A and B are shown apart, each in its own frame.
Chain A
């Protein structure tokens, strides 16, 4: 990066660190922090979508749909979330390839599962074998995003269902009394009043989501944990910047990053809750 970095072996002290911390690999490391934040920001709308879907399914008047909602919201209480993180991406991948195989390669008669192999025709592969590396990366990231959305959507459905139920009945009846339709009651009375009850649960969920982001590493995404291991590991003299095992420092830096993220989130939510509690005849919880 800097001019004086041309010969790393001649550097010492501050210069060495200035050059070491600005190598191309380190920039990949810094960019991976954006991957984490990007995952959080992209996951939130999906989580809310799954959450509202689950909550309304659970409250549906149609019995089978209610069962779906109940199973969906109950499963995350009994099954560790890591199981979902490992299961969903590979299961989704196989499901998609299976569907594509059935539609695109209907002439192939051999079974897809042959012993311990999962064989689909070339045109059904996702992404196609000829695709660029970044397509594979994006595909992997999307599958990971889906896993987060499913798991945290179930948590969000629990929170939103509780919040929808916490809105005083009298408010909804008042809506009926002035002649509002069901949709009007939902949009003008029920949903606006629900947020204050949902906020503590949702803020908690946000914290959980932040702290679940290192699990991206398990899904094969080159995230901050991947780079911390990669960069921190012992570098022998064969490397431009040899150093002993520094992984503890890299992981320490990640811990500080997460402390900062949770600290700033907590402050944000405290202010938001204070703001939304204004004008509510409640003890500002």
Chain B
């Protein structure tokens, strides 16, 4: 089978398109590269949505944690503590068991005039259930970063804003939030990288890979087990992740430049990669 044919058969296999059966015998290098690349779709899917949604939620949670009202502060603290204090791997297991316990035919919500049936079955699927866990997890880690940055916003900036009559939402949007992001950005880049790496856990926890539609590591593991040779498929998945990580760093670097554009070059915060936020 030619490599072009393999590309047609397997490049979208992770989504369920193309050839149904995975290669069994005489596995070629081309098949490994294409199928593992196909699995990367899932890693990118989980990471992208989790970063976007988690970013918004984390801003809210960080604000809640910094709030003077205990009714907001304590739940935010508890949420952050719970998700940062336990392993993501176990969070997947716990969430899966929780979702499985939900009634199979959905939850019926009585609205008085009509009955609404909330479907729950999709929660046990990785695309939704695992995504929720990843989003909550990254929210907790990012919120802690944002909270730290929020407290580091120079008091003078806020007082200057107050002096020219800027208050409330406007002051937050124009003064506090941009500075918070600028201060948090190097750490947040790390968080995004390790979140991206953590997406490989999904199909190794209890979420099943339905119809063998898995992520890059799922296929790499499949090949390693079938060929009994780890020295090909794992380096391939490693290569994909190095490339994707470099792309991610480049993107976050651009954002960092924009956040720091008003500063003198030597005063700008550099993104330093540190293994700060592995789960």
Q: Complex Cα distance A212/B88, Å?
A: 9
Residue-wise, chain A 242-260 has the 8 Å CB interface mask toward B (1 for contact) of: 0001011001101100110
**Out of B25, B193, B204, B229, which one reaches A113, CB within 8 Å?**
B229
A148-186 to B contact mask, C-beta < 8 Å, 1/0: 000000010010001000000000000000000000000
Q: How far is the CA of A99 from the CA of B83 in the complex (A)?
A: 44
Q: Is A236 an interface residue (CB 8 A)?
A: no
Residues of B30-68 contacting chain A, CB below 8 A: none
Give which listed residue, B90, B101, B217, B228, contacts A254 with CB less than 8 A. B90
How many residue pairs between the two chains, A and B, have CB atoms under 8 Å in the bound complex?
Answer: 124
Q: How many residues of A contact B (CB 8 A)?
A: 49
Decide: B224 and A213 in contact? CB cutoff 8 A: no
B230 interfacial by beta-carbon distance below 8 Å: yes
**Closest Cβ–Cβ distance, residue B187 to chain A (whole Å):** 12
| A78, B241: Cα distance in complex, Å | 6
A201 to B25, CA, bound (A): 46
1/0 contact trace for A51-77 toward B, CB 8 Å? 000000000000000000000000111
Stretch from B107-115, B152-160, B231-239 at the A interface? B231-239
- Kindly list chain A residues whose C-beta atoms are within 8 Å of the C-beta of B77: none
When C-beta atoms are compared, the residue in chain B nearest to A154 turns out to be B275
Given A79-B238, A259-B82, check contact A86 B224 (CB 8 Å).
yes
Q: How many interface residues does chain B have, given as a range?
A: 35 or more
Q: How far is the CA of A259 from the CA of B81 in the complex (A)?
A: 8
B8 at the interface (CB under 8 A from A): no
Tell me whether A225 is interfacial, beta carbon within 8 Å: yes
Whether B269 sits at the interface, judged by CB under 8 Å, is no
Asked whether A83 and B276 contact (CB < 8 A) given A78-B242, A255-B90, the answer is: no
Kindly state whether residue B97 has any CB partner on chain A within 8 Å: yes
Contact of A77 among B85, B193, B221, B224 (CB under 8 A): B193
CB-CB under 8 A for A76 and B200, given A94-B230, A212-B87, A259-B85: no
Q: Is the interface of A mostly helix, strand, loop or mixed?
A: helix
Interface: B93 (CB within 8 A): yes
How far is it, in angstroms, between the C-alpha of A77 and the C-alpha of B90 when the chains are bound? 23
A17 at the interface (CB under 8 A from B): no
Contacts of B117 in A (CB 8 A): none
Residue A222 is within 8 A (CB to CB) of chain B in the complex: no
Please pick, from A79, A87, A229, A255, the residue contacting B241 in the complex, using a CB distance under 8 A: A79
A251 and B88 alpha carbons, distance in the complex (Å): 12
Chain A neighbourhood of B217, CB < 8 A: 80, 82-83, 86
Q: Say whether, besides A80-B198, A83-B217, A158 and B90 are in contact (CB < 8 Å).
A: no
A215 touching B94 in the complex, CB below 8 Å, given contacts A76-B275, A80-B217, A87-B230: no
CB distance from A95 to the nearest CB of B (A): 9
How distant is A93 from chain B, measured CB to nearest CB, in Å?
Answer: 9
The reply on B162 being an interface residue by CB < 8 A is: no
Residues of A within 8 A of B197 (CB): 79-82
**Residue numbers in A under 8 Å from B27 (CB-CB):** 116
Known contacts A77-B193, A208-B278, A225 near B231 by CB under 8 Å: no
Bound CA span A113–B229, Å: 9
Per-residue 0/1 for A189-226: is the Cβ within 8 Å of any B Cβ (1 yes, 0 no)?
Answer: 00000000000010011001011111101100000010
Kindly state the separation between the CA atoms of A150 and B220 in the bound complex, as whole angstroms: 20
Interface flag for A262 (CB, 8 Å):
yes
Q: How far is the CB of A126 from chain B (nearest CB, A)?
A: 15
Chain A residues whose CB sits within 8 angstroms of the CB of B28 once the complex forms = none
Least CB separation from A256: chain B residue: B86
Check B97 against A248 for contact (C-beta < 8 Å). yes
Known interface pairs A113-B229, A247-B97, A251-B97. Does A214 touch B241 (Cβ–Cβ under 8 Å)? no
Q: A75-B238, A87-B224 are in contact. List 10 more A-B contacts (CB 8 A).
A: A76-B275, A77-B245, A116-B229, A118-B228, A155-B275, A162-B274, A211-B87, A245-B100, A245-B101, A247-B97
| Sample (18) of A-B pairs whose CB atoms are under 8 Å apart | A80-B197, A86-B220, A87-B224, A90-B230, A116-B228, A118-B228, A155-B278, A158-B274, A211-B88, A211-B278, A232-B97, A248-B101, A251-B97, A252-B94, A254-B90, A259-B81, A259-B85, A262-B86
- The residues of A with any CB-CB pair to B shorter than 8 Å are 75-83, 86-87, 90-91, 94, 113, 115-118, 155, 158, 162, 201, 204-205, 208, 210-215, 217-218, 225, 228-229, 232, 245, 247-248, 251-252, 254-255, 258-259, 262-263
